[in-house]
């Protein structure tokens, strides 16, 4: 799906061929944010006829993006004040419940953003959006719950596909659906905690998974659509964020049944996590790393994570968005710019 301007790691393409050759796999589609994962690539959709592959969904079942329009006005915006008030939501709200209400690690974040450009004024108005308010974007998933589900599954059945009618497939699907609900609610809980700290409220604009399994009809054939880092083109508006130093785009998907009704879920990694620190630590101080070119600030008290999720480690979001726009897959509603990115207040 990618245009010539989109950089794609050769290993990710290899991994995509590997998945295409799995038993019963009918069709695979790589998104422009495709990048290598653990055996299988991220940023792709996989359609099988009868076999379900839990490992293709991965351990963060229900990972996704949710967006709110907050009541915080942009006028007289003080980032200092936001930074002081945003507080610490690293501790779960209930013990023993898989860290409900927390963001998690890796590429997960909560980010206050402002609208920097409106592309489609009609849709912007139709969804009652305002460029005078801050937005909150939450990228998180099912935390320890999804992880436990996949771990238990793989321990028993390994990587092989499961026939949909088998008891093990039914068991997995039931747990998978619970994880989707948990992930959806987790993103809402994260938002509510931040709203409390910031003394505001918000209206949910979207709350959409990009790691999940769905029963669909693809060009006349019933089967199982596995999305791994792929946003659905069938669930209304989606937001496709760049790195913390880049824009996010709120887009209206245009139906693309032949491409498995899916879109990129972000910019996609360019550098492996393990390489980031060595590439960056001699060039930038930690303080420099916590400010971005677009004027955003980062709260991240985990030094390794600061490097691992650096903007330099990600592809350009504009190249990813451009690919999909040129292919006629999206209608851009608005561009948003990061103001304050919350990763963790905790220690290393």
Active site residues: 265
Q: Which residues contact 223 (CB under 8 A, 6 or more apart)?
A: 26, 47, 48, 49, 50, 215, 216, 217
Q: Which two tokens stand for residue 4?
A: 């010539």
Contacts with DNA by CB under 7 A lie at: 59-60, 63, 96, 98-99, 104-108, 140-141, 143-144, 147-148
Cα gap 28→228, rounded to integer Å: 11
Strand partners, 137: 67, 111
> DSSP letter at 107?
T
Q: Which two tokens stand for residue 54?
A: 């839990």
Whether the CB-CB separation of 47 and 224 falls below 8 Å is answered with yes
- Which lies closer to DNA via its Cβ, residue 187 or residue 297? 187
Q: Which two tokens stand for residue 45?
A: 């959709």
Cα gap 319→33, rounded to integer Å: 9
The phi, psi pair for 261, rounded to 5°, reads 45, 45
Cα gap 39→251, rounded to integer Å: 30
- Which lies closer to DNA via its Cβ, residue 178 or residue 234? 178
- Which lies closer to DNA via its Cβ, residue 62 or residue 223? 62
For residue 313, CA distances in Å to 144, 193, 283 come to: 26, 29, 14
**Minimum distance from residue 250 beta carbon to DNA (Å):** 21
- Which lies closer to DNA via its Cβ, residue 65 or residue 129? 65
**Minimum distance from residue 346 beta carbon to DNA (Å):** 8
For residue 77, CA distances in Å to 6, 82, 88, 257, 340 come to: 35, 8, 21, 43, 12
**CA quadruple 195, 201, 206, 209: dihedral sign:** positive
**Minimum distance from residue 129 beta carbon to DNA (Å):** 27
**Minimum distance from residue 294 beta carbon to DNA (Å):** 21
- Which lies closer to DNA via its Cβ, residue 63 or residue 115? 63
Q: Pairing state of beta strands 42-48 and 221-228?
A: antiparallel
**Minimum distance from residue 275 beta carbon to DNA (Å):** 15
Q: Coil, helix or strand for 106?
A: coil
Q: Which two tokens stand for residue 214?
A: 């769905």
**Minimum distance from residue 293 beta carbon to DNA (Å):** 22
- Which lies closer to DNA via its Cβ, residue 147 or residue 175? 147
């Amino acid at each position: 799906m990618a245009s010539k301007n989109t950089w794609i790691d050769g290993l990710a393409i290899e991994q995509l061929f590997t998945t295409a050759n799995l038993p019963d796999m009918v069709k695979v589609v790589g998104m422009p944010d495709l990048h290598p994962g653990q055996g299988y690539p991220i940023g792709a959709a996989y359609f099988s006829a009868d076999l379900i592959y839990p490992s293709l969904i991965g351990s963060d079942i229900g990972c996704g993006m949710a967006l709110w329009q907050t009541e915080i006005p942009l006028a007289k915006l003080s980032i200092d004040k936001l930074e002081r008030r945003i507080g610490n939501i690293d501790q779960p709200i209930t013990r023993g419940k898989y860290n409900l209400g927390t963001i998690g690690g890796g590429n997960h974040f909560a980010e206050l953003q402002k609208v920097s450009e409106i592309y489609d004024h009609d849709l912007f108005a139709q969804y009652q959006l305002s460029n005078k308010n801050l937005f909150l974007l939450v990228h998180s998933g099912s935390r320890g719950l999804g992880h436990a589900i996949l771990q238990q599954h793989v321990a028993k059945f390994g990587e092989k596909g499961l026939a949909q009618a088998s008891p093990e497939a039914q068991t997995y699907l039931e747990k998978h659906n619970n994880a989707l609900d948990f992930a959806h609610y987790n993103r809402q809980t994260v938002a509510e905690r931040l709203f409390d700290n910031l003394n505001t409220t918000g209206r949910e604009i979207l709350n959409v998974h990009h790691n999940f399994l769905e029963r669909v009809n693809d060009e006349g054939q019933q089967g199982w659509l596995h999305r791994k880092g792929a946003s659905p083109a069938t669930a209304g508006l989606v937001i496709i964020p760049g790195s913390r130093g880049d824009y996010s785009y709120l887009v209206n998907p245009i139906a693309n049944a032949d491409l498995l009704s899916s879109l990129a879920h972000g910019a996609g990694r360019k550098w492996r996590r393990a390489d980031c620190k060595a590439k960056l630590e001699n060039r930038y101080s930690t303080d420099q790393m916590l400010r971005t070119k677009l004027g955003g600030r980062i709260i991240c008290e985990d030094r390794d994570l600061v490097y691992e999720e650096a903007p330099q480690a990600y592809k350009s979001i504009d190249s990813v968005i451009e690919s999909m726009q040129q292919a006629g897959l999206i209608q851009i509603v608005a561009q948003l710019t990061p103001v304050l990115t919350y990763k963790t207040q905790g220690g290393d």
